[in-house]
Structures are given as structure tokens and as C-alpha cells.
Amino acid sequence: MESKFYTLPKLPYGYGDLAPYISEEQLKIHHTKHHQAYVNGANAILQRLDNARKENIDIDIKATLKELSWNIGGHLLHSIFWENLAPPGKGGGKPSGMLNDILEKEFGSFERFKKEFSQAALSVEGSGWAALTYCMQTQRPLIMQIEKHNTNVYPAFRILMVLDVFEHAYYIDYKNDRAKFIEAFWNIVNFDEVNKRIERLLK
Ligand code: MN
């Protein structure tokens, strides 16, 4: 059904399925509280804009758009994040296919890519994300280090894979140890899904 508002997507696995790398409690809170808050936040602003236009009331456009960008960014990035995770066994390992080819060509090896991506995630200032993106102009995969949900973004670059390093993503399981969470991520990253994304983009 077509909607003019955002909805929380269902996870492609159960809340307990990413354990022991992400616990059931951590994943459930992350999805049902944190991600849901961005969906609600974005929808509330859209509703506010609808009402203001209908009643012809002035609003603080700068503050509203800043808040909207934060919430929509949060919603879209989390939606990608859930898709590029998979239960241990299905997730983890090494990339194959086209993904492997482009990573080896750009970074020299998967190990080098993994190291740079991990360093990007570890060093995000404050809260944010590491993202693997693809530039159609240069045919290069590029790592994007997103602060908050919307700063340092390369406009229009297709995002292939993300890692959430907001503390809300790991505080129950890893306290403030972001490095440990990043290490865990490599056991549950869904390279098949990431490979499908690059294949769809380049075909
Ligand atoms: Mn998050």
C-alpha cells in the first residue's frame, strides 16, 4: 500500500538470531525503540509540515529541515543496516562475486578493505556510521564516514553496506567498547546481500 509516511521495516531474521554477536535484548531495543523513534520523528515532522501548509502557518524551516534530515537519515541507514546483517553461519566470511572483485581492485585485498572500514567505523567522531559506497563516475568503491546520520555524506552515491556505531547499537553487549562491536560485526555481515546490491547497480 502506498503511504505518504514512513514505516518500520521488519527484520529479515529473529531478534535472537544474531547472538552471540548482537544479543536479543540489544537488537530488540535497537529496532523497536531507536529505529522506531526515527520513523516516528520523521512522520511527526511531515505531519507538522502538512498542517502548517494547510493552515498557512509559518514554521522555523531551518530547524525543521535539520531535524527532518536527522530522522530520515536515521531511518534509511537503519533499514540498510538490518538488510546487510545475517545470522552467524550465513553471515561473516569473505565476499564473493563482483563485490570481491571491486574490493580487491580498489583496496588490493579484502583484508586491507576490512582494516580501512574498521578504522573508519572506530574513528567516527561522536555517533555515526561507516558505509561502503560506490562512485559511478570513477567506478570506485569508497568508504564514507557518516557523522550523526547525515554529515560527510557523498550526495547520490549508492550505499552498499553500513555499520552503525552509535553507542545505542552496542551498549548492552559491549558497554562503551566500540572496537569490540566492530570486530563482532564481521561475523554477521551479509556479504551475499552486499554483493547483490553492487550487481544490481552495475548490471
Ligand atoms: Mn542505530
Which domain CATH number covers 41?
1.10.287.990
The average pLDDT across 168-182 equals 98
Distance 6 CA to ligand 1 centre (A): 17
Computed over every residue of the chain, the mean pLDDT equals 97
- Clarify whether residues 116 and 190 are in a common domain: yes
- Clarify whether residues 180 and 102 are in a common domain: yes
- Clarify whether residues 43 and 102 are in a common domain: no
pLDDT at site 199: 96
* Dist CA 114 CA 110 (whole Å): 6
> 89 near 20, Cβ under 8 Å?
no
- Clarify whether residues 107 and 52 are in a common domain: no
Question: For the chain, how many residues are written?
Answer: 203
Give me the sign of the Cα torsion angle 142, 70, 22, 198: negative
- Clarify whether residues 152 and 70 are in a common domain: no
Distance 137 CA to ligand 1 centre (A): 30
State phi, psi for 143 to the nearest 5 degrees. -85, 135
> 130 near 165, Cβ under 8 Å?
yes
What percent of the chain shows pLDDT beyond 90?
A: 98
- Clarify whether residues 102 and 164 are in a common domain: yes
Distance 77 CA to ligand 1 centre (A): 8
pLDDT at site 42: 98
- Clarify whether residues 77 and 153 are in a common domain: no
Distance 58 CA to ligand 1 centre (A): 32
- pLDDT tens for residues 99-151? 999 999 999 999 999 999 999 999 999 999 999 999 999 999 999 999 999 99
The reported pTM is 0.96
What percent of the chain shows pLDDT beyond 70?
A: 99
Angle at Cα 198 formed by Cα 107 and Cα 178, nearest 5°?
60
Distance 127 CA to ligand 1 centre (A): 9
Distance 163 CA to ligand 1 centre (A): 9
Enumerate residues with CB within 5 Å of ligand 1 (an ion): 34, 164, 166, 169
- Provide the residue range defining the domain that includes 110: 97-202
pLDDT at site 2: 64
Tell me the CATH number at 154.
Answer: 3.55.40.20
